[in-house]
Structure formats: C-alpha cells, structure tokens
Amino acid sequence: MTLRELTIQLADGASAVTIVEACLERIKTAEPSIGAFITVTAERALDRARALDAARAKGGPLHGVPVALKDNICTAGVPTTAASKILRGFIPPYDAAVVQRLEAAGAVIVGKTNLDEFAMGSSTENSSLGPSKNPWDVTRTPGGSSGGSAAAVAAGMVPVALGSDTGGSIRQPAALCGVVGLKPTYGRVSRYGLIAFASSLDQIGPFAHTAADAAVMFNVIAGHDPRDATSSTEAIPDVSAALTGDVKGVRVGVPRAFLGEGVDDAISSAFAASLDVLKARGAVLVDIELPHAGYGIPVYYLIATAEASSNLARYDGVRYGHRAALAAGDGLREMYERTRDEGFGAEVKRRIMLGTYVLSAGYYDAYYLKAQQVRTLLRRDYEQAFERADLIATPTTPTPAFKLGEKTSDPLQMYLNDIFTVSANLTGLPAISVPCGFSRDDLPIGLQLTGRMFDEASLLRAADAYQRDTTFHTRAPALAD
C-alpha cells in the first residue's frame, strides 16, 4: 500500500501492531530473494507498535507506519555498520536527527537496509555483506548506494524508507527499482547522525511509491537543526498543500545537448513520452543549455573522494569499530595500517587513495582546486537555466538496471551511471526521480526533475501531476512467494 492508504487505515482504527506484523511477514518472505536488510528490528518494532496502539490519541502523521532506514543513519541501541567491516559491532548511543523526527511523528523503525560500503557505489555490490538485488529481476542491481532502501519499498516490504544521496544515491536506485526518490536541497534535512561520506554533498531523503507520500516524509524530516552546522534556517512550507495537480504554465527546461551519447533507446523514448505527459497537463517545454554538465562526473569524483579521505580518517581502530589483532612488537602505526586494511573494502580504499592524492602537495591546485572552480561554473549554468525554466528535466539514469557483476571490474563505467544525478549534489539543488516507463526487459525507468534551491514544493507538485496521468508507479514486481 502507499503511505496515504496506510495512514487512512490507521486513522480508521487499524492496529499498528497488525500493520507492523504484516510488514515483518513480508520482509520474511521477500528478504531471502532481495537482501534488502542488514538488520531487522522485529521485537523493537512490535514493542513500539504496541505502545502506539495504547496511545492512539497522541498519534502523528506517521502514526504506526513502518519505515526502513539506510544503515548509515545512526539508531540508538541498534547496530549501524554503513555496510563496512570496520564498523562491525558498532552500536550508536544516540539517534540521528531524522530518526528522532520520524519517531516523534509516530513512525515504527523496522530495520536497517543494505548499501554500498560508506555509501560509495552505484550498485550496492560494494557492501561487505553482499549485494542487494532488484525486485524486478534478481539478477540485476537495485542501484546504489541506497539500493537496500529502494528495493525494500519496491518489493512491498515497507511503504517508505530513508536513504542518503551524495551523487545520486537516492534517485538512481529509485529509478532502477521503479519508485519515487527525493533528494532535498542541501541543508534542508539535518545530517546529524548520518555517517559522513562527503560532507558538502550528502543529504538524507525519502523513498516512496508516490510523490504525495514523499511530500509527507519530507515534511516530517525537514527543518533546521542546530546540531548540524550546515542546516538551513529557511522556513519549511507544507509541501503536501502544493500538490494541486496544476502545472499549467510551469516551464520545464530540457538540456537536449546533454542527453545524447550513451543514453539507452528505451530511456530516451520513455523520457520523451514523459515530457509529452507534462506538456498535456499545461507545462511549457523550453530548451536550455548546461554547458559544464559533462564535467560533473570528474568534478564529483575529485571532490567526493577528497572529502571521503578526510572523513574516513577517523576509523583507526582506537575508539570504536573493528581493531586488528596485533603481533608481538607491533606498534600504533601497524595497528592503524592493519585495521584499515582489514576493515575497508576495495572501493573505499580506491576512493581514499584517490582523495588523498588530489589533496596532496603538488596536486591540490591541479585537481581539487580546479574541480571546485568547475563546480562554481556548474552552479552558474543552473542559475542561468532557471532564468528560463522553473524545473529541469532529464532521465535519471542513462540505462535501466544492469546485471550484477557487469560493471564491477570497470569503475569508470560504474561511475558514469551517475552522469545525470551528480549535478544536483554539486550545486545543492533539490531533485526527484519518478517512475516513467519500462524497458523491453520490463525494467523500470525514471524521470528526474531538478528544482531551484529550497523549492521542493514545485518539484513535488510536478511529480505528483505526472503521476496523476500515469500508472507506472502502480505496477509491482512479481516476486515469488
């Protein structure tokens, strides 16, 4: 069910315990095929549901609603691993800000979902616990890094989930799994309690079946938090009130020069059809230019790896997480080296080394500084584009879901899967992916809309209007029971 359908049932007297039990049963049935979860908190969730049933008069907008969290979001008393061996056994003593807000709204956390280690990847294959699988075809990736959350929603294990998006890690798996994924404006949602990958890029956001459900989740988790120095004080409107279905006169910019090479024919066809749907609703299509968008991937992988190199220096085996066994005579240096070698996977090591290299003396100006300069040019491109357009439309991904193992030996090809998504992170802009079709192999395709800073309302209004005239989001994968 959608979140809206579920909250109606709960408001009409349905038991939160009954809903959570059904959710846990679905997880039990589908999880062996999908591998969406790292930890399922069944008893904790049922205890929470019982308490909510006993205090129904105090219910919030998510009263009794089961929610899954990407396992890089801290939960007090529940293991939080970021899918890394180096955090095996780590149990946070506090809740992330988004967890506090979800539970204040009445949500029930049912588990922690799989991801690429430290959110570094586009396929969930970099998880130390093995990959998650796409519910539409279990031989294919659900995307990444928030693949577990996307797969859990697509497979009907939970109605909504949270992920984090550093270069497309909500929107890309949402597209590949046929669900809605929203990356809010940078600073809209507190990063307090999010295990950092790249601090100037990371943002938490929701997965759902509909834009209307994503709007409810956004209203719950967004808002200023003094514990996050980058948290915005911008007022949070009720974005659900903006979902009128009216997009008449809304200018949708299309960067056609950026959409040619490397885009699968099925993606191109679905994207063109989605523009026709918006146009039929009264939107106006305008051609725009994003001249520096093609540099997004190299700029992203310089800035993100540099920040990862700094952020992951804290994992040294001293304070928490994995610590390597030492031989007689080994000192502190050997402990650091062995702990980090044993604890980090190949992709994390690759990114730490790349980030350390671009920050090193003699290379900083040539790589990191140059990337920041191009990042500024990319921001200017979007500022100029928004003089002519209210929203910018692209496909979310250049291809449908690819086979597991297909790109693991070619990191560059893996990185290029994020070509349409990284710009929103580099510029801090909000963006959403909405199901817009299926490939010849019956694999989902996503439409991405990008909006102005702090204008999630317009994004969600357009996405909701699109879903009112399409049924792609109502289709479900035929999982074997």
Q: Which residues are catalytic?
A: 70, 145, 169
Q: Residue 448 has what DSSP assignment?
A: E
3-class secondary-structure state, position 81: coil
Alpha helices in 200-325 (DSSP H): 211-221, 265-280, 296-311
CB of 34 within 8 A of CB of 135? yes
Phi-psi region of 210 (alpha: psi -120 to 50; beta: other; left: phi over 0): beta
Distance between CA atoms of residues 257 and 366, nearest Å:
28
Distance between CA atoms of residues 448 and 278, nearest Å:
13
Phi-psi region of 187 (alpha: psi -120 to 50; beta: other; left: phi over 0): left
Distance between CA atoms of residues 203 and 200, nearest Å:
9
Largest CA distance in the chain: 74
Determine phi and psi for 438, rounding to 5 degrees: -140, 150
Tell me the Cα Rg of the chain. 21
Tokens of 108: 């029930």
Alpha helices in 13-126 (DSSP H): 16-34, 42-54, 97-104
Tokens of 236: 């949070």
Q: Which residue has the tokens 């209007």?
A: 465
